């Protein structure tokens, strides 16, 4: 009796793992030493970028690119801020506080 139950659970788990391969994913972009790491990311529509601030001061990501305008406000050191891209295109993300920080996001 126990053996079939374990097998069924295993099959269900495999199906769940397979399904998640097609789900939207999260991609981490670091903010470190006044740079985005990496400086260019390619994602799918519906994917979320998770910005981590690994500096000792605040950053403020924003984008004025048509179709993906946003301003995430001041992000404190040590925090994670997610943003989901809902439209395809190429978008530029900048920091209001540090104009040299640039991230290119290609959404397909
Ligand atoms: Cu900054």
Please name each of the domains of the chain with its CATH number. Answer: 24-107 (2.60.40.420)
CA of 77 to the centre of ligand 1 (A): 10
What per-residue confidence (pLDDT) applies to 13?
46
Task: Compute, in angstroms, the gap from residue 89 CA to the centroid of ligand 1.
Answer: 24
CA of 103 to the centre of ligand 1 (A): 12
Gap from CA of 61 to ligand 1 centroid (Å): 7
Higher pLDDT, 1 or 93: 93
Interval 1-10 mean pLDDT:
50
Q: What are 12-69's pLDDT values in tens digits?
A: 544 444 444 567 899 999 999 999 999 999 999 999 999 999 999 999 999 999 988 9
Comparison of pLDDT for 41 and 9, the residue scoring more: 41
SS3 call for 17: helix
What's the confidence (pLDDT) of residue 19?
A: 46
Q: List Cβ neighbours of 97 (8 Å cut-off, separation of 6 or more).
A: 57, 58, 59, 60, 74
Report the chain's mean pLDDT, rounded to a whole number. 87
Question: What span, in angstroms and rounded, lies between the C-alpha atoms of 49 and 17?
Answer: 21
Say how many Å lie between the CA of residue 74 and the centre of ligand 1: 9
CA–centroid distance, 34 to ligand 1, in Å, is: 6
DSSP-based three-state secondary structure for 38: coil
């Amino acid at each position: 009796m126990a053996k079939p139950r374990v097998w069924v659970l295993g099959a269900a788990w495999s199906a769940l793992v397979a399904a998640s391969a097609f789900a939207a994913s999260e991609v981490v972009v670091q903010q470190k030493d006044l740079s985005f790491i990496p400086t260019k990311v390619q994602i799918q529509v519906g994917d979320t970028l998770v910005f981590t601030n690994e500096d000792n001061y605040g950053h403020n990501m924003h984008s004025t690119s048509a179709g993906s305008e946003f301003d995430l406000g001041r992000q404190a050191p040590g925090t994670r801020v997610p943003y989901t891209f809902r439209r395809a295109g190429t978008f530029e993300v900048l920091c209001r506080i540090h104009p040299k920080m640039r991230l290119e996001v290609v959404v397909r």
